[in-house]
Amino acid sequence: MPPAPHPDFSMTSREDRTPLHEIRRVEVAYLLWTPSLLGVAGLHRFYTGRWKTGLLWLFTGGLCGVGSLIDLFLIPAQVQSFKQLPLAHGNQPPPTLDQSILALARRRGVRGFTFNDAVLELGTSPKQIRPELEHLMQEDCLHVTNDAEGRIIYREP
């Protein structure tokens, strides 16, 4: 009995994968600002990475409401500023799937890894890993070979 063909996942969009550190929305920041009206201020500052002033706002009622009122106009700039923070500022995004696959290849060295190894070790679905492997092979970041048992092995060039 011939093996079943692998489904083609090459049409999967890569553009919809935004790093988590960039996912900050002005609407959410305004929503977190609204408790300031009840005296619980500063939540929006935590959301935009301003921990020190977030604590100050929390303990002082948003500087007696004046700071919170000013923030009402500054929130869009705070969100934009957070998105542009350098990664060294403690705003380190998790590695992308491509980066995780390449790290796996580097850890495994010359013995490489199988498709199943990638699925199990990275904890990601096969539907997500397959197009990433294909992309990395096209970019010449991974090479494909077979081991002594005939399994497909991926490794760094």
Rounded distance between C-alpha atoms, residue 113 and residue 153, angstroms: 5
pTM of the model: 0.45
Whether the predicted pLDDT of 39 surpasses 60: yes
The partner residues of 144 in beta bridges, in order of sequence, read 154
pLDDT at 19: 53
| pLDDT for 20 beyond 70 | no
Residue 71 has pLDDT above 60, yes or no: yes
Q: Is the pLDDT reported for residue 100 higher than 60?
A: yes
Residue 106 exposed, middle or buried by CB count within 10 Å (0-12, 13-18, 19+):
exposed
Mean pLDDT of 90-117: 86
Give residue 62's pLDDT. 87
Predicted local confidence at residue 92, as pLDDT? 61
Q: What is the pLDDT, as a whole number, of residue 3?
A: 47
pLDDT band at 95 (very low <50, low <70, confident <90, very high): confident
Q: Is residue 30 very low, low, confident or very high in pLDDT (cuts 50, 70, 90)?
A: very high
Q: What pLDDT score was predicted for residue 49? A: 86
Virtual torsion, Cα 68, 73, 76, 79, nearest 10 deg: -20
Q: Is the pLDDT of residue 94 over 80?
A: no
CA distance 97 to 117: 14
Amino acid at the residue 14 = R
Rounded alpha-carbon distances, angstroms, from residue 133 to 11, 79, 86: 13, 34, 29
| Single-letter amino acid, residue 129 | I
Burial 43-80 (b: 16+ CB within 10 A, else e): bbbebbbbeebbebbbeebbbeeebbeebeeebeebbe
Average pLDDT over residues 93-101: 85
Q: Give the rounded percent of residues in the chain with a pLDDT score beyond 70.
A: 80
